[in-house]
A and B are shown apart, each in its own frame.
Chain A
Amino acid sequence: MESTDIIKPENLVYKRSRLMTEQPLSYCPGCGHGTVTNLIAEVIEELGIESEVIGIAPVGCAVTVYDFIAIDWIGAAHGRATAVATAVKRVLPDRYVFTYQGDGDLAAIGTAETIHACNRGENITIIFVNNGIYGMTGGQMAPTTLEGMKTSTCPYGRDVNMQGPPIDITRMIAVLSGTYYVTRQAVHTPAAVRKTKKALLKAFELQKTNKGVSFIEIVSNCNSGWKMSPVDANRWMEEKMFKIYPLGDIKVDGKMLV
C-alpha cells in the first residue's frame, strides 16, 4: 500500500487548523504553549468567528502568538492585557475578545488589571497559562512557583517565609461576581487537550450571552525553565503542580462548585 492510498478525506483524523500561519512556533519543543496556541486556532475556526475575534497577546513566551494565528491581534504591555481587552470589548461589544497570558503577566505585574476586569464582569475570555515560572526571561520565580521549587531567582528553592506561598489567583477571581465560568485545565495528554478544547469552546460561546468573564487556567509545563525533559516535566507537573492547582471546573453558570 502506498501512502497516497491512505491520504484520503475519509481517513482524515486530524488536520492543521486553517488559521495557523506558516510561521514556525517559537516555543520550546514539548512546551504546552504550542498546544494551547493550536487549540485556540481550532476553536476559533470551529466557531466560525475568525472575522469577529480580537486576541490580546501578552509579554511572555506567547508574545508573538499573533504571528501564529491569522486573526486580528493587539500586543499588550506586560500585565495589561485585561485592561486592553476591557477597552476593545467596550468599544466593539459585538466582537469576541480574549487575552492569552502567562502567570507572571496575569498574576504578578498585572494582578490589579486581572482582578478589576474580573470584578467589572467584562464580557471577555481570559486564557491563563500557568507554568509556575517566568519562561521568557529565563526561568525566574513567579508568584505561582511551588514551595521549594528551584528557579534562577530562588536557586535554593522557594522559601514561603521569605517569598510567600504560591498564589491561586484563579480561586481568587472565582469568588468575584463578575466571573461566570472559571475552570482549570491542562494540555499534557490527549484527554486533557480534549477537555481544554471543550472549555475554550464554551468560554467563547459565553461571550454571546453577556454574562461576564470566562476564565480558563491551563496548568502547563516549562521544560526549559524547569530544566527537565518534556516527559519528565509533564510527570513532575502531574505530581506537584496538580496538587496545588487541582484540575476541574471552579465556577460554572456563575455558581461556585464546592
Chain B
Amino acid sequence: MGEIQLMKGNEAIAEAAIRAGCDAYFGYPITPQSEILEYLAAANPEKRTGMIVLQAESELAAINMVYGAAAAGKKVMTTSSSPGISLMQEGLSYMAGAQLPGVIVNVVRGGPGLGTIQPSQSDYFQSTKGGGHGDYRLLVLAPASVQEMSDHVKLAFDLAFKYRNPVLILTDGLIGQMMEKVELFDPVPRSKTLPDWAACGKKGRPHNIITSLHLDAYEHEKMNQKLKEKYALMQKNEVRYETYYCEDADYLIVAYGASARISQKTVTLARNRGIKLGLLRPITLFPFPSEAIARLAAQLNGILSVEMSHGQMVEDVLLATRQYPALRVEHFGRFGGVVHTPEEILEAFIKLFIQLN
C-alpha cells in the first residue's frame, strides 16, 4: 500500500508530478490552480529529485518552455486554468505538430472571458477538438477524484511518451480544490537517458531537428497523415471509461469529472424511485468512449449528457448514437461557474424523459 494523505486535488497533481519523475515544471499563477505552483515551490523538488520548477512571465512563455524542455527529450509539465490555457493554444499546436510529449493540466473555471473563478466544464470543445490551429488532437484525461488527479499524472506522462503527443488533464476548480484521501504511488526515478529523437546535442549521431514546419505541401500532407494515423491508434487503444449501474439501465447519464461524481448520487436517487438509471463516465475524452455508448444504446430509452456547460460533450454522445436516430439524447447542466446538485439533475432528467413519455 502506498503512502496515504489527505490532499487537495491541486496538491495531488503537484506531488504526483514529482513522484512521476517529472524533469521540469513551468507555470504562471491563476485561480483555481495556483496551489500547484505553490506546492512545487515549497516542496523543493530540485533537492528531492532534481526537478526544475520555474515561474514563467506568462502562460505563453510557460508553454514554450514546455515545448523547449520536451524538445530536449525531458518529462515536462505545465498547469493553468481556462484563460491561461487559451493563451497556450499556439504552443500546444506546435507541440502536436512537432510530435512532442508533455503534460498540460487545465483546472477549468467558468468563461468566456475572465469569467469566474468557480468551476466549470466549458472548455470541452477546446480540449477535445484541437483547440489551437491545424488538424491535431490532444489525448485528454478527465479525473473525477483526488486519487485520479494523482494517478492520471503518471498515466499522462506514459501516454505522452508512448505517442509523442501532448496529453491534457482536463479537470475543474471543484476537483482541484476538493480535499480527499489519496494513496500516492511510489516515486519513479527521473530518466537518465534521453529519447533518440531529442534535440539535446548530437553526440555520435546525425543532428536532430525538432520542427512543425514542412514548406512542401506534399511533405506536409505526409506528416499530417502520420498524425492522423496516430490519433486513430489512440482511438483504438486508449479509450477509458467507467460504468455504474449500466447492466439493466433503461436510461443513461453520460458525465465526466465533477459532473460524474455528482451524477452518481442522481443514479441512487433515481433507483430509489424505481427508475433504472445508469452512468457512463468517460475517463478519456479524446479518445471518446463512443463504442461503449453505442453498445449500451440498444437497451436505452434515453441518454442525458450532464456537463457544467451549455452542452458540448452532448455532441459526441449524439455522434456515438447516430445508428439509433430514434434514441433521445439530451443535455443538462448549470454553467458559468454554478455546480448542479444531484437533485437538479434528477429533476431535469424526469422532466425530459419520464413526464413526456
Chain A contact residues, CB within 8 Å of chain B: 50-54, 56-57, 63-64, 66-67, 70-77, 80, 83-88, 90-92, 95, 112-113, 116
Contact = CB atoms under 8 A, between A and B. Distances in A.
Given A90-B52, A92-B72, A80 B64 contact: yes
B212 interface: yes
6 contacts: A71-B207, A75-B210, A83-B60, A84-B64, A87-B72, A88-B68
B57 A116 contact: yes
Contacts, number: 126
Instruction: Give the interface centre of B56, B62, B210 by most chain A CB atoms within 10 Å.
Output: B210
B140 interface: no
Contact of A90 (B69, B199, B207): B69
B24 A74 contact: no
Interface in B184-233: 198-204, 206-213, 215
Contacts of A75: 98, 209-213
B65 interface: yes
A77 B94 CA distance: 7
Contacts of A83: 56, 60-62, 64-65, 68
B91 A80 contact: yes
B34 to A, nearest CB: 19
A64 B71 CA distance: 17
A50 B202 contact: yes
Contacts of B201: 51-54, 72, 92, 95
Nearest to A56: B68
Given A83-B56, A90-B24, A72 B200 contact: yes
Nearest to B94: A77
A112 B57 contact: yes
Given A71-B207, A77-B91, A88-B72, 6 more contacts: A52-B201, A54-B200, A73-B208, A73-B211, A77-B64, A80-B60
Contacts of B72: 54, 74, 87-88, 91-92
A72 B199 contact: yes
Interface string B87-126: 0001100100010000000000000000000000000000
A84 B209 contact: no
